[in-house]
Amino acid sequence: MPLVAHKELPTYERLRAEGQRILSPARAQAQDIRGLHIGLLNMMPDAALAATERQFFRLVGSSNPISQFYIHPFTVDSIPRGKAARQHIDQYYESFETIRELGLDALIISGANVTRSNLAEEVFWDDLCEVFDWADQHVTSTLCSCLASHALLLARYREQRKGLDKKCWGVFEHEVVRKDHPLVADTNTRLFVPHSRFNEVFRHQFEQGGLHVLIEGKDSGVQLAVSADGFRTVLFQGHPEYDSISLLKEYKRDVGLYIDGIIDHYPPFPVNYFDHFTQALLHEYRERVMVARRAAAKPPEFPESLLRQRLHNTWHDSGEAIIGNWVGLVYQVTHRERHKPFMDGIDRNDPLGWLSGDTSRLM
């Protein structure tokens, strides 16, 4: 079912132009359907703020469960912003105070740029922990993406992420290792997910916190885990929300950092992302960059337009299926009143009945 354009956010027009079904508030009110109110805590830096909106809006809106979606973007004031991003936030985002007052059925928390090895020293740490604590008591289920998962594991379970010898970067194959959980019902048992990180929380750390690992990869580690109760917190280490071009944009950015002398080594290719022809083009481009660098000449333009048409998205369908299961499960156990997380009779320590083996409420 569709997203509801309940505010004048440009993201809605961008998604409508892509063919996404977007309802006006008047049309939504004419349908006898209980809409879900989902918060999006967007902590991404200015350059990625709007793209992150679109990625998560698109993933939720295309997941096709039995609901309309009112998505409420907000951020934390402790993250420094430029003028344009601040204007966007002031015009289109809600305050955390409003979110708390009106309530949410579910919450998505994005990643963020970090500058310190210890997440607890980041400028947004206290504000993020406040959101974690509020959501734990008032939101049916909170879904954390990558950095947000690492932050929650540190804040709630004292599990510190570990630095990797090299960046986990690319599109990796994963396997569903707990096929009995409703979140992975009717999904592919082998699936691809993009990752982009220098750090990892390992399986034994999830298990020490009492969490359940549902999906993991041989090379990329844990992708999907849930809290001890089976549902109230959902954690991704990868990025199923990524667009087809997201890793290309990141590679282009890193090449630019090399050209500008900010990093010492020319960036490697993301794993399992570029085909052989694209890699050949990029090898040729690298040689041209090196020639220009030796001659102290202007570097050649990055051939993005040639590369875009050769990119393939191998992860959206599986991500869409999992998000569809997630919001469908929220719909089945959340209270009609937004400020109450569960229907009467739901055990918050086993809201899906998965731990007890009684999932009859979900049938």
Q: What's the pLDDT at 193?
A: 97
Query: Tokens for 98?
Result: 């409003």
> Is 146 a catalytic site residue?
yes
Q: What's the pLDDT at 231?
A: 97
Q: What's the pLDDT at 33?
A: 63
Q: What's the pLDDT at 15?
A: 80
Whether 291 shows a pLDDT value over 70: the answer reads yes
| Dihedral sign, Cα of residue 47, residue 252, residue 258, residue 170 | positive
For residue range 222-254, list pLDDT tens digits in order. 999 999 999 999 999 999 999 999 999 999 999
Cα separation, 99 vs 139, in Å, equals: 11
Q: What's the pLDDT at 45?
A: 95
Q: Which of 6, 72, 195, 239 is catalytic?
A: 239
> Is 129 a catalytic site residue?
no
For residue range 119-152, list pLDDT tens digits in order. 999 999 999 999 999 999 999 999 999 999 999 9
DSSP of 213-231: EEEEETTTEEEEEE-TTSS
Cα separation, 76 vs 7, in Å, equals: 20
C-beta neighbour count of 209 within 10 angstroms: 17
Q: Which of 72, 146, 200, 320 is catalytic?
A: 146
Whether 322 shows a pLDDT value over 60: the answer reads yes
Whether 31 shows a pLDDT value over 60: the answer reads no
On the 0-12 / 13-18 / 19+ scale of CB atoms within 10 A, 235 is buried
Q: Which of 53, 200, 216, 241 is catalytic?
A: 241
Q: What's the pLDDT at 3?
A: 74
Q: What's the pLDDT at 341?
A: 93
For residue range 79-91, list pLDDT tens digits in order. 999 999 999 999 9
Domain boundaries, the chain: 3-243+314-362, 246-308
DSSP H/E element including 357: none
Quick one: what percent of the chain has pLDDT higher than 90?
Answer: 81
Q: What's the pLDDT at 34?
A: 76
**Which ranges of the chain does DSSP label H, i.e. alpha helix?**
10-17, 25-30, 46-61, 83-92, 96-102, 125-138, 147-157, 203-208, 246-259, 276-294, 304-308, 316-333
Whether 27 shows a pLDDT value over 70: the answer reads no
Rg (CA), the chain: 21
Q: What's the pLDDT at 303?
A: 95
Q: What's the pLDDT at 25?
A: 81
> Is 276 a catalytic site residue?
no
Architecture of domain 3-243+314-362: 3-Layer(aba) Sandwich (3.40)
Which residues, in sequence order, are CB contacts of 184 under 8 Å at separation 6+?
Answer: 176, 178, 214, 215, 224, 322, 325
Q: What is the pTM of this model?
A: 0.89
Q: What's the pLDDT at 239?
A: 96
Q: How far is CA 181 from CA 93, 142, 178, 288, 322, in A?
A: 34, 17, 6, 51, 11
Whether 2 shows a pLDDT value over 80: the answer reads no
Where is average pLDDT lowest: 153-162, 275-284, 336-345? 336-345
For residue range 208-218, list pLDDT tens digits in order. 999 999 999 99
Cα separation, 13 vs 294, in Å, equals: 46
